[in-house]
Amino acid sequence: MSNEHYLIVSYFVFALVSLALGVAAYRVLRRPFAAIAEAVAGLRGVMLRRTLALSLALAAVLGFLSVSYVDCNRGYDQIVKDRSLMDEINRQQLQHAGNWIVFAVLAWGFMVVVLLAIWRRKKQQEGSGDQARSGGIH
């Protein structure tokens, strides 16, 4: 495989691998998050779940795109000659994709705190409503 072919193939392969990392992260979190979203928002929890999926995929692609060949200030011919540079850039793209997914997961952790607080309040309101109703019967 010539260096130019290697450059083209590796770029798109690593783009797909980065995206796959985001999708894998979503699949790890999907089931518990869906249960939380359903407990808090009922049927509208689907929207939250889709937002989680989208944000993790976007974070992965963003990480991949944040490392660019243009930034290394070399001409195309110089980039094609240097296969070690391509490997280095590919590694950095994966590294940044991983880091952005981590940021996104931590941000969602804070979001889930808010969702749980809403769920707790909802349960308390339901509990006090039941108490008021049973008090009215007596």
Partner 1 sequence: MSPHGIVVLASFVIAVLLLIVVDRLLRPGLRGLLEDVTALPPATEFYLRAFLLVIVLVVLAAVLGAQHADVKDGAHFMEYVWSVANGLQDVFQNLMIVLLVYAALITVLMASLRRKH
Residues that bind partner 1 (CB under 8 A): 21, 25, 28-29, 31-36, 39, 91-92, 94-99, 101-102, 105-106, 108-110, 112-113, 116-117, 119-121, 124
Distances (CA, A) of 40 to 37, 50, 112, 123, 127: 5, 15, 10, 10, 15
Separation CA 95–CA 83 (nearest Å):
18
| Closer by beta carbon to partner 1, 9 or else 24 | 24
Running DSSP on this structure, what letter comes out for residue 54?
A: H
For the bound state, the minimum distance from the C-beta of residue 59 to partner 1, rounded and expressed in Å, comes to: 11
Amino acid making up residue 137:
I
For the bound state, the minimum distance from the C-beta of residue 93 to partner 1, rounded and expressed in Å, comes to: 9
For the bound state, the minimum distance from the C-beta of residue 138 to partner 1, rounded and expressed in Å, comes to: 27
| Closer by beta carbon to partner 1, 4 or else 88 | 88
Taking a C-beta distance cutoff of 8 angstroms, is the pair 15, 67 a contact? no
